[in-house]
Amino acid sequence: NAGVTQTPKFRVLKTGQSMTLLCAQDMNHEYMYWYRQDPGMGLRLIHYSVGEGTTAKGEVPDGYNVSRLKKQNFLLGLESAAPSQTSVYFCASSYSAGGWLAKNIQYFGAGTRLSVL
């Protein structure tokens, strides 16, 4: 009963390095999301996906890319990390079936803590 799993849990990067964060869900959800959370702040949506092979920009997409090649996986990439991308990253997923209401019940992973030096 894993739910939403994020890897890695922690990472330290140097400015300019690249990395990929992996999110996997086992609930057969159509929708997946990537958020970032800075200290003392709420979550902000980076990118999201409404199905396999589709992605879209959220509130703060600059500096990030995403891919959804398989329904259960949603990848977040940083091509050239910057100190401003130091944050905690959360992945979430939700249903699309059962009416639109179900889409707003999102299930979150435990987060990835990223530091960019």
Partner 1 sequence: DAKTTQPPSMDCAEGRAANLPCNHSTISGNEYVYWYRQIHSQGPQYIIHGLKNNETNEMASLIITEDRKSSTLILPHATLRDTAVYYCIVSYDRGSTLGRLYFGRGTQLTVWP
- Binding-residue pattern over the window 72 to 111 for partner 1, x denoting contact by CB under 8 A: ------------------x-x-x-x---xx-xxxxxxxxx
Comparing CB distances to partner 1, the nearer of 56 and 82 is: 56
Token code pair at residue 22: 């992996």
Binding to partner 1 in span 49-78, by CB under 8 A: 50, 56
Among 14, 40, 69, 98, binds partner 1 (CB under 8 A): 40
Given a contact cutoff of 8 angstroms between Cβ atoms, the answer to whether 56 and 68 are in contact is no
Place of tokens 């992996």: 22
Sole binder of partner 1 in the list 34, 48, 64, 74 (CB under 8 A): 48
* Contact (CB, 8 A) for 90 and 45: no
Token pair of 60 as six digits: 């703060």
